[in-house]
């Protein structure tokens, strides 16, 4: 680091001395000295902002600017027949000379990753069928339901597991916390299970983005590069990816969409598991984990009973169903009367926590 500082100081001193001796803007040497110092400081500041920029992006910007300059010079040479004394023609020459190098610089800098060797090789490969990439994140691998989706055939295309996701998964598997360690090992087992499935193409991607530190942002950049979709159940990653224009397949949203639709007035069988928060309430759960709060069912704990649905509450965490116990001998019409306020009131955080 010390020689970097010495190089910058030497550069600033050389520019300031050059301006002091040559006096490009004013006869006063002190004004030229100040001008040289300011110009050198601005140059060092520009160099400092580029310290984290990838070499391929800088090389792309240089090549793009050079190509743009050649195009501008070619267009200027092609217009040799126009009157160079016309002010409009002179402005057109200047505009073209500035426009094409600028476009080349910007476009070359943005597309600099195509100068990577792995990308250059793909330019010379035979064009095959278009591949649809699904990039898996750490949370959806640990969750495990992605393996069931692959087994049913609902996931098509190529599954991409980035190396930085595998590294994060390995860190979880090596954690000192036994719960995290088990989750990480489960994720590795899920990946092995998916790799052994027939008809599923799994690719381990070595593409990385050293200038990006967060794994979520790396996933978004990789999805942009591959024109693919991110498969996740992370709510925050879902929102950030959508804001950045990347398509997301959320496993939780799919699970909620597949839950059966229940309407008020329908009859259903449930197993009362425990008592509810409010007076005389019982709590049951459907096979998909949906909580059912049943009024007048506290005495029916550990029994399977018929209930009539009174209301359905949709929350960000999922769906909750409220119903009333159909007592033997009671009419369905009486059961379908509006439930008490205690039955339709959403449960307190204590009941929600039991879910």
Topology annotation, domain 133-256: Rossmann fold (3.40.50)
Distance (Å, rounded) from C-alpha 138 to C-alpha 162? 10
Same fold, 133-256 and 260-354: no
Q: Region 133-157: what's the mean pLDDT?
A: 88
**What global pTM score does this model have?**
0.49
Strand partners, 311: 322
CATH of the domain spanning 260-354:
2.40.50
Q: What would the pLDDT profile of 206-228 be if each residue is shown by its tens digit? A: 888 888 888 899 999 999 888 89
Dihedral sign, CA of 70, 74, 77, 83?
negative
Residue 77 has pLDDT above 50, yes or no: yes
Give the model's pLDDT for residue 75. 84
Question: Residue 288: which of 268, 264, 260, 308 has the closest Cα?
Answer: 260
* Residue with more model confidence, 233 or 77: 233
Query: Please, which pLDDT band fits residue 123 given cuts at 50, 70 and 90?
Result: low
Report helix, strand and coil shares of the chain as percent, to nearest 5.
55, 15, 30
Mean pLDDT, range 235-246, rounded to an integer: 89
Q: Which of 124-128, 307-311, 343-347 has the highest mean pLDDT?
A: 307-311
> Cα–Cα distance between 351 and 328 in angstroms, integer?
28
What tokens were used for 269? 């069988």
In this predicted model, which residue has the larger pLDDT, 292 or 341? 292
pLDDT score at 282: 93
- The overall average pLDDT reported for the chain is 81
Report domain extents, the chain.
2-115, 133-256, 260-354
Chain mean position to CA 215: 9
């Amino acid at each position: 680091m010390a020689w970097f500082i010495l190089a910058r100081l030497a550069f600033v001193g050389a520019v300031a001395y050059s301006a002091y001796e040559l006096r490009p803007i004013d006869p006063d040497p002190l004004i030229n000295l100040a001008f040289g110092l300011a110009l050198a400081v601005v140059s060092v500041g520009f160099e400092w902002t580029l310290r984290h920029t990838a070499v391929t992006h800088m090389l792309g910007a240089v090549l793009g600017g050079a190509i743009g300059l050649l195009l501008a010079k070619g267009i200027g040479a092609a217009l040799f027949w126009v009157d160079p004394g016309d002010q409009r023609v002179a402005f057109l020459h200047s505009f073209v000379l500035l426009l094409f190098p600028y476009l080349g610089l910007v476009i070359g800098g943005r597309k600099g990753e195509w100068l990577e060797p792995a990308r250059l090789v793909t330019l010379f490969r035979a064009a095959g069928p278009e591949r649809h990439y699904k990039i898996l994140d750490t949370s959806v691998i640990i969750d495990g339901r992605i393996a069931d989706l692959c087994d049913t055939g609902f996931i098509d295309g190529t599954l991409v597991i980035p190396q930085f996701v595998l590294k994060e998964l390995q860190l979880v598997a090596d954690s000192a916390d036994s719960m995290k360690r088990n989750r990480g090992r489960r994720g590795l087992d899920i990946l092995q299970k998916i790799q052994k499935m027939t008809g599923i193409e799994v690719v381990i991607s070595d593409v990385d983005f050293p200038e990006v530190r967060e794994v979520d942002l790396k996933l978004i950049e990789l999805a942009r590069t591959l024109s693919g979709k991110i498969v996740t159940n992370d709510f925050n990653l879902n929102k950030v990816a959508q804001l950045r224009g990347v398509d997301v397949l959320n496993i939780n949203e799919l699970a909620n969409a597949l839950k059966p639709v229940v309407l008020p007035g329908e009859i259903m069988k449930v197993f009362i598991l425990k008592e509810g928060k409010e007076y005389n309430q019982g709590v049951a759960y459907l096979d998909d984990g949906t909580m059912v709060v049943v009024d007048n069912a506290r005495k029916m704990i550990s029994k399977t009973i018929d209930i009539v649905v009174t209301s359905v509450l949709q929350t960000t965490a999922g769906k909750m169903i409220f119903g009333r116990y159909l007592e033997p001998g009671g009419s369905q019409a009486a059961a379908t009367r509006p439930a008490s306020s205690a039955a339709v009131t959403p449960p307190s955080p204590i009941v929600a926590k039991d879910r």
